[in-house]
Copies of this chain bind each other. A is one copy, B any other.
Amino acid sequence: MNTYTNVKDLGDLHQAVQEALQVKQDRFAYKSLGENKTLLMVFFNSSLRTRLSTQKAGMNLGMNTMVLDVNQGAWKLETERGVVMDGDKSEHLLEAIPVMGSYCDVIGVRSFAGLHDKAFDYEETILNQFIRYSGKPVFSMESATAHPLQAFADLITIEEHKRTARPKVVLTWAPHPRALPQAVPNSFADFMNEADVDFVITHPKGYELDERFVRGARVEYDQMKALEGADFVYAKNWSAYRDPHYGQILSTDRSWTVSKRHMDVTNNACFMHCLPVRRNMIVTDEVIESPRSLVIPEAANREISAEVVLKRILEEAK
């Protein structure tokens, strides 16, 4: 593997999950693989889970790790040619990115959607600049439109907890006070569409996601109907994708907050969320604290998904 930005990069998904479960049995088994290899993690946005779990994964593999925090939007890279750089942009990406690449062996990049310019976000401008100009393998630590380390961890978690060969998995929108990117639901859909599950998406009208991620998945606007018989309920807020409302909040309807009433119509489903979660907006205390809540083991699997990705990148580079 040389790049990790979506489900296709993992190849055979069943095999990837099996590899993850095996790595989890002994996460230090591949420690020699990362010897004298350096992982650079570049954060354009703040991070708790991704920072710690990815760093831990790199260390599990024996890598040296370096973290670069690019202050919230403060380091503006010039991206155009021909511009006289006499303003606030002190460096051009054509210098900055190859230089970062020269000090490491693998680069992880976190860069959220701005939600102001749909084309800029959905062309994955920043991530693609790293892929194109760094000269090193690049993986997404959540980009503008995707969070494939999260979705891979989610799939591992489903595999660990499923009770039937082909479980029903429901991705449900839930309300949130701030406008959030579509990266997590996009990647969750991207993975579920390739996994051996019965996948349903539910959200209020207007919250339709990009067809490139939804593909043929069933979309059911009646949340209660969607949840019937579910084995896994994956809650997440996102802002509108479709024009002319890109990046906007269209609903704050608290009837969508996942509660006991919702879980009661499921097949005693497991509850999932990528965290951080706003309690009693996304999900009630009762549901997230129930024995069927997987939010902590799901977060713990972030270390495993990152380790598999780094392991494959290191193996490819050998």
Residues of A in contact with B (beta carbons under 8 Å apart): 28, 31, 36, 38, 40, 48-49, 51-53, 55-56, 59-60, 64, 66, 68, 78, 81-87, 90-92, 94-96, 98-100, 102-104, 177, 275-281, 285, 288-289, 295-296, 299-300, 303
Contact = CB atoms under 8 A, between A and B. Distances in A.
Contacts of A103: 52-53, 56, 300, 303
Given A81-B279, A84-B279, 14 more contacts: A40-B52, A49-B99, A51-B68, A52-B103, A53-B103, A56-B104, A82-B280, A84-B280, A85-B281, A86-B278, A92-B279, A95-B276, A95-B299, A96-B276
A251 B285 CA distance: 47
A41 to B, nearest CB: 11
A127 to B, nearest CB: 19
A135 to B, nearest CB: 9
A280 B83 contact: yes
Counting chain B CB atoms within 10 Å of each CB, the highest count among A31, A64, A95, A277 belongs to A95
Contact of A84 (B92, B100, B281): B281
The majority secondary structure among interface residues of chain A is: mixed
Contact of A94 (B59, B98, B289): B289
A276 B87 CA distance: 14
B59 A276 contact: no
Contacts of A82: 280, 285
Contacts of A92: 277, 279
Nearest to A59: B64
Contacts of A91: 275-277
A100 to B, nearest CB: 7
Given A98-B296, A296-B95, A66 B85 contact: no
A204 B38 CA distance: 43
A100 B52 contact: yes
A275 B52 contact: no
Contacts of A38: 56, 59
Contacts of A68: 48, 51-52
A85 B278 contact: yes
A43 to B, nearest CB: 12
B85 A48 contact: no
A177 B95 contact: no
Contacts of A288: 94-95
19 contacts: A38-B56, A48-B68, A48-B99, A48-B100, A52-B66, A52-B103, A59-B64, A82-B280, A83-B280, A84-B279, A85-B280, A86-B278, A90-B278, A94-B288, A94-B289, A95-B276, A99-B296, A102-B296, A103-B303
Contact of A36 (B28, B53, B94, B278): B28
Which 7 pairs show the lowest CB-CB distances between chains A and B? A91-B276, A102-B300, A85-B278, A84-B280, A52-B103, A59-B64, A86-B177
Counting chain B CB atoms within 10 Å of each CB, the highest count among A52, A64, A84, A279 belongs to A279
Contacts of A95: 275-277, 288, 295-296, 299
Contacts of A31: 36
